[in-house]
Amino acid sequence: MQENVFYRLDPLLICLVLVGVLVAASEIGFWVKGRMAKGADSIGKGDIPLIIGAVLTLLALLLGFTYSMSEGRFEERRQLVIDEANAIGTTYLRAKALPEPRSSEIQRLLRQYTALLVEIAGRIEDDPEKIRAMDNREKKLESLLWSHAAALARENPNPVISAFFVPLNEMIDLRAKKLAALRNRVPFPIYVVLLIVSVIALLMIGSYLGSHRQRALIVTALLALLVASVMWLIMDLDQPVRGAIRTSQQSLIDLNEELSQESGEASP
């Protein structure tokens, strides 16, 4: 996971702070401009709203661009869950065609592997030590599965065993893709640029209101709240583990329940 402490903070807390910063920026602009002599600016008063409009348009484009990045990463993680569940299910079905006793052992390992993935998906924190421990357990199960498959290929090479390797290899490859997707976050400099543009926009609005001696605290506070709300949505979608909007793990959960029920029916 990213080591930057920013990615470990609560998005809601960040956005509440952002609302305060933006409202403060507007008030600073109003206070500074209100105490400046009229006519100190060389820019015509009619041009100032155009400049403010251009800055707000730039801010909207940046927010839209960043949201698109965050939503794309969220969708990628969602699709990987479905692909992983399909790969494990296919591997499990093809394992039934393998010779005993390895067939039963491989099915048992696949049930453990699926249960572990559901456990990993259900965690509510991204502590590096816990993630590393779960990752090691996942690697161990994959290594055992591959060892059984390699032993079968040496003992009795045939098309059935070759067909079993295809979904097993895809299942292991998806693990690397999943880890890459978890680490793939919206770059921190983009958030910095968004903050700078937002502050400048509110400063200019406050300055414009100050030049007319018209305070509009409610309007500027609502604008700050809107910007912070979009930022919260972006950061929440960008959170792979925590947050209000989480990637659905239902495909893996359904598969785990199906395999567990099958195991329970087969035991008697």
Distance, CA of 21 to CA of 206 (rounded, Å): 13
- Is residue 175 within 8 Å of residue 138, measured between CB atoms? yes
Has residue 96 got a pLDDT over 60?
yes
Alpha helix stretches (DSSP H) within 96-183: 102-121, 128-155, 159-183
pLDDT at 90: 94
**Could you read off the pLDDT of 174-192 as tens digits, one per residue?**
988 888 888 888 999 999 9
pLDDT of residue 201 exceeding 70, the answer is yes
What is the per-residue pLDDT for 199?
A: 94
Location of structure tokens 């087969």 = 266
Distance of CA 114 to the CA centre of its chain: 22
Helix (H) or strand (E) holding 208: helix 188-211
Q: What is the spatial distance between Cα 191 and Cα 198, in angstroms, rounded to a whole number?
A: 10
- Please tell me the distance from the alpha carbon of residue 66 to that of residue 189, in angstroms, as a whole number: 11
Query: Is the per-residue pLDDT at 110 higher than 90?
Result: yes
